[in-house]
Structure 1
Amino acid sequence: MEDLKIIEGIGPKIEELLNREGIHTIEQLADTSIIRLAAVLKKAGPRFQIQNPTSWPKQALLAKEQKWDELDQLKKLIISGKES
Structure 2
Amino acid sequence: MKIIEGIGPKIADVLNAAGIQTFAQLAETDPETIHKILVDTDPRLARMSDPTTWPAQAKLAAAGDMAGLQALQDSLKGGRQAS
Structure 2 match to 1:20: 17
Task: Go from structure 1 to structure 2 and tell me whether the alpha carbon gap of 1:16 and 1:65 turns closer, same or farther (over 3 Å shift).
Answer: same
Task: Give TM-score, length-normalised by structure 2.
Answer: 0.87
Measured after TM superposition, the shift of residue 41 of structure 1 is 1.2
Task: Give TM-score, length-normalised by structure 1.
Answer: 0.86
Structure 1 match to 2:4: 7
Cα distance between partner residues in 2 of 1:14 and 1:82: 16
Measured after TM superposition, the shift of residue 80 of structure 1 is 6.7
Task: Go from structure 1 to structure 2 and tell me whether the alpha carbon gap of 1:71 and 1:40 turns closer, same or farther (over 3 Å shift).
Answer: same
More strand by share: 2
> Please, which moves more after superposition, 4-13 or 36-45?
36-45
- Structure 1 stretches (4+) deviating beyond 2 angstroms? 79-82
- Structure 2: any 5+ residue segments left out of the alignment? none
Cα distance between partner residues in 2 of 1:78 and 1:63: 16
Of 55, 59, 67, the match for 2:65: 67
**What secondary structure does 1:54 align onto?**
helix
% same residue: 41
The reply to whether residue 77 of structure 1 matches residue 75 of structure 2 is yes
The two structures, once aligned, show a CA RMSD in angstroms of 1.8
- Structure 1: any 5+ residue segments left out of the alignment? none
